[in-house]
Amino acid sequence: MEFEIIAKDAMGRICRIETPHGRIETPTVLPVINPNIPFIPPDEMKNFGAQALITNAYIIYRTLAEEAVSKGVHRILRTDLPVMTDSGSYQLMVYGDVEVSNREILEFQKEIGSDFIIPLDIPTPPDADYETARKDLEITIEREREAKELNGISSLVLPIQGSTHMELRRESAKKAKEIGGDVYAIGAVVPLMDAYRFKDLVRIILEVRSVLRVEPVHLFGCGHPMVLAMAVALGCDLFDSAAYALYAKDDRYLTVYGTKKLSDLQYFPCNCPNCSKMDPEEVRELEKAEREIFLAEHNLYVTFSEIRTIKNAIKEGSLFELVEKRIRAHPNLISAWRQIKDYSPLLEDSDPRIKKRFLYCGIETLMRPAVKRHLESVKQLDFEKEVIVISTDLGVLADIYVRPVFGPVPAELLESYPAGHAEIPEAEFIEKEALEMAVENLRDFMRCLNDKKFVVHVSGRWKDFVKDLPGECEYVLH
């Protein structure tokens, strides 16, 4: 499979994937199509922004096998978009059994001309005991090996399982990488998302990404616009979701801030074509079938609008800013995202060094690689003067200025990225963590200049923080 990274930000990227049915530009969401239940017709999916679809090969195998083999899956769905086919492991999770072997369903997916085929992996649910998860994973790996042997021109998607055992998720990723797939798909995470267990979700993604550093990664069953920016920033490229339809059937309305019940809405916070022409009261009065389509269409519009917002953020280097805003949708997203502090080398590895701007959005901003990199580069600088003047006040002539978040910023770097370009609230108004980090960085920097003397001008609220500096310091309070 041809795969090219064309832009990067945080751990997210815009990639191009070539398929026999055309190019997919990621990140993107593959809407789930049930071949037997006509809802939003697959040929309309392009109008919302879909670039590829996913359908269930097992359902087709059970109900439309002959027709599908003669016509191919694209004609069955009446689409010319690339199609990924799932193997029936979802049914395995829900019903505990499927009446098809791994080899049969893989051969079938190839026969019907699927662009992306998936072996019949075992989706071990969260919190399974270790032994069960390990045994399930062994079967999954065996089936992935079989898939590799059978694979032809279709791209091979290798699921990553292991329940909530991080060691097993890593093992699954390692084994899948050895086998060699085209796309790696993190599976069995829907129960985590349904329960708002985003911390577990984020940790699983980060563990998998620690093994699969550049390969295309798909996050199975994730398509809620509330989590997309975060998942992309952690390195997920592809998503699929039935959420647009499932939520619509339940009178629920997706937004980037979470899910709303139609019954609770007085106004639509959206300007998609549907929401622009009707208000919630009118939609509540529609017949159920019509209402479902209205909501499903809105759900698709908002999902792909968020995808475009994310891609634009990657292009302009502001994905961290977008995620730091989006996680405000739910406290569990905040805790989840803050775990990136445990994975800073990983983040460091992929985040571009130069960006246009640095906009402070809250204390998660302190965890961005740019902050640490700034300190490291400032520590490399040579200073000829014997006495170094440090000031928290830009109005005082100094060699080094102390800025919230970053700490020491040499005067000559006041105009450069990141610290010079940073848009940060004044010290008087910012969270104390941003000042504590600044002073900690300042101390670290000063320790590298142990033969110098310092004159330190301290003003305003900084007086509570700038103290106990190393070396010989003369303090001037303003």
Active site residues: 86
Q: How buried is 275 (Cβ within 10 angstroms: 0-12 exposed, 13-18 middle, 19+ buried)?
A: buried
Interaction between residue 298 and Zn ion (CB under 5 A): yes
Taking the least distance from each CB to Zn ion, the nearer of 106 and 243 is: 243
Taking the least distance from each CB to Zn ion, the nearer of 79 and 274 is: 274
Binding segment for Zn ion (CB under 5 A), chosen from 78-86, 290-298, 394-402, 403-411, is 290-298
Minimal distance, residue 188 CB to Zn ion, in Å: 31
> In this structure, are strands 116-117 and 387-391 parallel, antiparallel, or unpaired?
unpaired
Q: What are phi and psi of 114, to 5 degrees?
A: -65, 145
Minimal distance, residue 382 CB to Zn ion, in Å: 57
Taking the least distance from each CB to Zn ion, the nearer of 54 and 302 is: 302
- Inter-CA distances, 357 with 109, 301, 312, 318, 422, Å: 46, 29, 14, 8, 6
Q: What are phi and psi of 29, to 5 degrees?
A: -110, 135
Alpha helices in 9-88 (DSSP H): 45-48, 57-63, 65-71, 73-77
Taking the least distance from each CB to Zn ion, the nearer of 93 and 286 is: 286
Cβ-proximal residues to 247 (8 Å cutoff; 6+ apart), any chain? 253, 254, 259, 295, 299
Taking the least distance from each CB to Zn ion, the nearer of 15 and 275 is: 275
Which tokens go with 352?
């571009």
Taking the least distance from each CB to Zn ion, the nearer of 1 and 272 is: 272
Minimal distance, residue 274 CB to Zn ion, in Å: 5
Q: What are phi and psi of 384, to 5 degrees?
A: -80, -35
Interaction between residue 293 and Zn ion (CB under 5 A): no
Binding segment for Zn ion (CB under 5 A), chosen from 53-61, 174-182, 262-270, 369-377, is 262-270
Name the nearest CA neighbour of 236 among 190, 262, 202.
Answer: 202
Minimal distance, residue 14 CB to Zn ion, in Å: 25
Contact call for residues 374 and 406 (beta carbons, < 8 A): yes
Instruction: Report the chain's terminal Cα–Cα distance, integer Å.
Output: 63
Strands (E), 187-279: 217-219, 238-241, 252-255, 258-261
Which tokens go with 350?
């992929």
Which tokens go with 459?
């003003």
Q: Which residues of 171-202 are buried (b: 16+ CB within 10 A; e: fewer)?
A: bbbebbbebebbbbbbbbbbbbbeeebbbbbb
Q: Which residues lie across from 410 on neighbouring strands?
A: 400
Name the nearest CA neighbour of 193 among 151, 241, 154, 237.
Answer: 241
CB count, 10 Å around CB of 451?
8
Q: What are phi and psi of 455, to 5 degrees?
A: -110, 120
**What residues numbered 268-287 form the site for Zn ion, per CB under 5 A?**
270, 272, 275
Count of residues engaged in binding Zn ion, rule: CB under 5 A:
4
Minimal distance, residue 267 CB to Zn ion, in Å: 11
Minimal distance, residue 281 CB to Zn ion, in Å: 15
Taking the least distance from each CB to Zn ion, the nearer of 65 and 270 is: 270
Minimal distance, residue 299 CB to Zn ion, in Å: 8
Taking the least distance from each CB to Zn ion, the nearer of 305 and 344 is: 305
Taking the least distance from each CB to Zn ion, the nearer of 219 and 254 is: 254
Minimal distance, residue 270 CB to Zn ion, in Å: 3
Which tokens go with 372?
């640490």
Binding segment for Zn ion (CB under 5 A), chosen from 32-40, 291-299, 362-370, 389-397, is 291-299
Minimal distance, residue 223 CB to Zn ion, in Å: 16
Contact call for residues 79 and 41 (beta carbons, < 8 A): no
**What residues numbered 162-221 form the site for Zn ion, per CB under 5 A?**
none
Residues that bind Zn ion (CB under 5 A): 270, 272, 275, 298
